[in-house]
Amino acid sequence: MKLKKQVTVCGAAIFCVAVFSLYLMLDRVQHDPTRHQSGGNFPRSQISVLQNRIEQLEQLLEENHEIISHIKDSVLELTAHAEGPPVLPHHKPNGSWVLPPESCPSFLSVSPQDCQFALGGKGQSPDLQMLAVYSLLPFDNQDGGVWKQGFDITYEPSEWDTEPLQVFVVPHSHNDPGWIKTFDKYYYDQTQHILNSMVLKMQEDPRRRFIWSEISFFSKWWDNISSQKRAAVRRLVGNGQLEMVTGGWVMPDEANSHYFAMIDQLIEGHQWLEKNIGVMPRSGWAVDPFGHSSTMPYLLKRSNLTGMLIQRVHYAIKKHFAATQNLEFMWRQTWDPDTSTDIFCHMMPFYSYDVPHTCGPDPKICCQFDFKRLPGGRINCPWKVPPRAITDANVAERAQLLLDQYRKKSKLYRSKVLLVPLGDDFRYDKPQEWDAQFLNYQRIFDFLNSRPNLHVQAQFGTLSDYFDALYKKVGIVPGMKLPGFPVLSGDFFSYADREDHYWTGYYTSRPFYKSLDRVLEAHLRGAEILYSLALAHTRRAGADSRYPLSDYALLTNARRNLGLFQHHDAITGTAKEAVAVDYGVRLLHSLNNLKRVIINAAHYLVLGDKDTYHHDPAAPFLGTDDTRPSQDSLPERTVLRMDTLPRFLVVFNPLEQERLSVVPVLVDSPHVRVLSEEGQPLPSQLSARWSSATDTVPDVYQVSVLARLPALGLRVLQLHKSLDGHTMLKSSVRLYLHGRDLPVRKQEVVPMHVFPAAADDFCLENQHLHACFSGRSGLLQSIRRAGEEREQRVSSEFLVYGTRTSKDKSGAYLFLPDGEAKPYAPKDPPVVRVTEGPLFSEVASYYQHVQTVVRLYNVPGVEGLSLDLSCLVDIRDHINKELALRFSTDIESDDTFFTDLNGFQIQPRRYQRKLPLQANFYPMPAMAYIQDAQSRLTLHTAQALGVSSLSSGQLEVILDRRLMQDDNRGLGQGLKDNKRTCNRFRLLLERRTTASKVQDGRPISFPSLLSHITSMHLNAEALVMPVAQEKPALRSFTPLSTTLPCDFHILNLRMLQAEDDSLPSAEAALILHRKGFDCSLEAKNLGFNCTTSQGKLALGSLFQGLELGSLQPTSLTLMYPLGTASNSTSIHLDPMEIATFRIRLG
């Protein structure tokens, strides 16, 4: 009776909230300030405003309708279960499973204000929108003469009479932290010599300049030099001769890298620079990443950099921008309602960043001014005209020739300030080269500058010298908006450097390591957060002397190894085989170290009596969830030995939201009961462990437990050996051999039926979804959402791309297919295995080169709303083939699809028929989707891969590629070191409501909240750690005292280093991201119990049992304080923004 009363009160309260929110919405629409626009052109503006208002009202009403129906569902759910539910799942007569109801049915209500952002419409549109530029260009690749991919440039000598040309020659050396050689080999063979010569040679003449970008190399060198040398470096930096550009750990790939890792390597570099040299980078330098993402300008801008440079952009775009003087622009985020994300960007105009392609349009002439190529050296000019040393006799003629190139290059830009890079890969490694370049150029500069009639001022400069001179010309403070330059939004994928050579292969190359990268990233984030929390709690308790603070060195090492792997020849899969192994060894070493950090933190945090805490490195308190025998092996899950004594598990949820998840555990006995910490039985499912299509692993069983895991917390579970076999719910298996004569090894305990033929088509369902499969292939055919009549065709198939027969073939970088993909045709039909059970059901299809498992979780909320999909790929016997997975639907997506950039934002794409097939592939680090007015289908991924939509309703992803030859981009190898690789996905079908038509015309799109949270579930799996020793009293650990808003993500909570850099200081960096989301996708029964808060968050009371000692907003990488540290601990974030706070917890 009491419960009924509670239900009524609860229902009434929810109803009141909904009605009140509708009132507020209407009120807001009436009092919207944007209505009071200038009344000059009365009728039209008023009508369009009215029209907008009506559309918004419709949308708001629709949302409110959603909320009300959701309330109804919640109340019904509450009432239905008011009579005391059965504790465990039970079987209904029709064969389906019924789960116990949720103790707290979740209720999601997104406030209407939070839905406005995705509707957009604020702010002016940019002058250059990259999606539109692509549609505009003919991509005809005409011969442009000496500048082959451009055009002839002409000028009048008198053009500089009133305003002389100001030339900055910027010496640089591009050092790859691993490519042809490993990081260490490059350092010992080349980089240390470059930096040693730099200190020596720069001091010889104060007019010399040099820039450096890779802190990974610089810090290694710093650790090996004397204090005198360090002082000299600080002097060179201080007087402006040496500039640290970008200042990241590496110059990251911008296609496959995830924004967590991009930010992390930037912080690692910036923190190192601040601590050791006391310098803050001002300008970004990215000459070698293979295409450029718009995430990078955002991160640089939020780190307080004021200018940036990019180089590898499609040659047709370079030509177009050069012809329209748009090579320099303000780069703005597509979602930015004002100008707060604008950063000044310089695009280099020619083919490469080497000397022949940087002084001007004619490489044959520019090469003559690369004085490393003087006759007698190891390298020469391919254009057959060697450089000549500059003498009094030839300086006039040589200087005039070079000035002609400078003037022509200058015509492509709007200002009379010119940037001329002078360098190449691993340049300036010998004193002789420093002399050859600097002495010869100084002679040219002295000559030019002493002739007023030439109207030119030439000098060595750093990148910031160039940007400063440009700003000074315009009379603007660096960082402010430059008048007279276009605003651009969008990105620069996909890249082609010549002909139809599109660099779209590296989006998938070496997928094994792309996957390992993300596993390490998830562990690093989890370890950082848990270490920070454990440290704050031990300090508060005065127990930090007993805690392994030295784990901080393991964190630093992992940050640096993950940072190193973001390099544009590492995560891209474009390094030599031995170098890939070196990266793999580093990643695995750090992964194992992070498991230790997590175990040590979890040990302290779950102890009931903290006084009993004792850290013994030789006997860890917790075991690991899995092990990897070597850097190229898949993880092997730990099997728990069951005894008469109960076993305990500690489960870590790295998400900032509570989650209801199915937690898998391997045990050596089928007779197991799973209890909560308090001793309540938990729903669990017993299934067999399979070693192949038809063989079970003897004496190993999988127990899958349904557990509610606290946000960022640790949950304690107990496993008891039970003698009565009835408590565990078993799954049942149907095995279809498809006419193949195969021996089957069964397990007695798990019911199994073997069918010699193929199955008929069949379906699986949970309370949210109904998924149907082909009996012949075992592959997905259609999905129907609960409560809907219409089945959505979502058929999947495997395809194979070959490569061309001509001399140019696919390799590590390039995708050059021999036409459209052909169906994958294995020599045997698949074995199909169907497992059904109370918590999950799945279909496994075993083909010769790929095993695929589609799993449906029978769980309320997020886990049950999408299909879990994994592909275990092994193409080691393929020759010049690429394996793709294609989904075909009847979604009318036309030529439009959407891919994410770095897991940070969504970029709409258009299939361009005028371009070759390979040009239409894009990076997919986290998700891709297609949609029409009714539906959106999203493919979420746990690893970066290449994706495309080659015709309406299709989405396809390249799973792996094996290529036997080099593709002539310097690597000198094919891709032949393929591994058995597991690719993991989630497939989410959502219904769109009608109000979203307004947005479809705009080059901007956002995932739904459900989509964001699904992506997080996929990328941050719960970690299961068995308690190794006799169990003292354990208590689950719940760090957060309130639920975070649904759209807030704790990107990191990272302890900052103390003076001794192997130890943590008292401060941490808290990095928050507020996600932009689209409300127009139906949100019923989502199973999250968070709401949104218009970007407001009270940090003071967020961490349970800890006080927030101080809170200082800073720039992204903590280099600059923003505003003053106030006593208020409440913060506000706009949608899409990432913000860093320097905090003290204790």
One-letter identity of residue 520: L
Phi-psi region of 1015 (alpha: psi -120 to 50; beta: other; left: phi over 0): alpha
The end-to-end CA distance of the chain, in Å, is 45
User: Smallest Cα–Cα separation from 243: which of 208, 289, 267?
Assistant: 208
Tell me which amino acid residue 700 is: V
Q: Which is it for strands 840-846 and 456-460: parallel, antiparallel or unpaired? A: unpaired
Instruction: Measure the CA angle with vertex 1118, ends 286 and 518; round to 5°.
Output: 60
Is 895 among the residues known to form the active site? no
- Please enumerate in sequence order all residues whose Cβ is within 8 A of that of 601, keeping only pairs 6 or more positions apart, or say none: 527, 530, 531, 533, 534, 551
Extract the tokens encoding 702. 């999988």
Q: Which amino acid, 560?
A: R
Nearest partner of 734 among 603, 814, 825, 845, judged by Cα: 845
- DSSP alpha helix (H) spans, 411-430: none
Q: Do 281 and 300 meet the contact criterion of CB atoms below 8 Å apart?
A: no
User: CA 406 → CA 328, 412, 1098, distances in Å?
Assistant: 17, 10, 56
Q: Which residue out of 253, 264, 288, 632 is catalytically annotated?
A: 288
> 111: closest CA among 1077, 991, 1099, 1101?
1077
Pairing of strands 867-873, 981-991: antiparallel
DSSP code, position 191: I
Rg for the chain (alpha carbons), in Å? 31
DSSP 71: H
Quick one: 418 exposed, middle or buried, by C-beta within 10 A (0-12, 13-18, 19+)?
buried
With contact defined as beta carbons under 8 Å apart, do 744 and 755 qualify?
no
Distance, in Å, from the CA atom of 290 to the CA atom of 313, rounded to the nearest integer, reads: 8
Q: SS3 sequence, 9-61?
A: HHHHHHHHHHHHHHHHHHHHHHCCHHHCCCCCCHHHHHHHHHHHHHHHHHHHH
CA 132 to chain centroid = 25
Burial 125-148 (b: 16+ CB within 10 A, else e): ebebbbbebbeebebeeeeeeebe
* Residue 124 DSSP one-character state: P
The answer to whether residues 899 and 913 touch, using CB atoms and an 8 Å cutoff, is no
User: Could you tell me how many residues make up the chain?
Assistant: 1146
Bridge-partner residues for 672, per DSSP?
Answer: 721
Taking residue 960's Cβ as centre, other Cβ atoms within 10 Å add up to 28
The helix/strand/coil state of 327 is coil
- List, edge to edge, every strand of the sheet that includes 1138-1145: 1048-1057, 1064-1074, 1138-1145, 1108-1114
Indicate if the alpha-carbon torsion angle 616, 620, 622, 624 is positive or negative. positive
- Separation of alpha carbons 373 and 619, rounded Å: 60
Q: Which of 910, 916, 889 is nearest to 898 (CA)?
A: 910
C-alpha closest to that of 1070 among 88, 132, 200, 263: 263
Q: Which residues are marked as active site?
A: 288
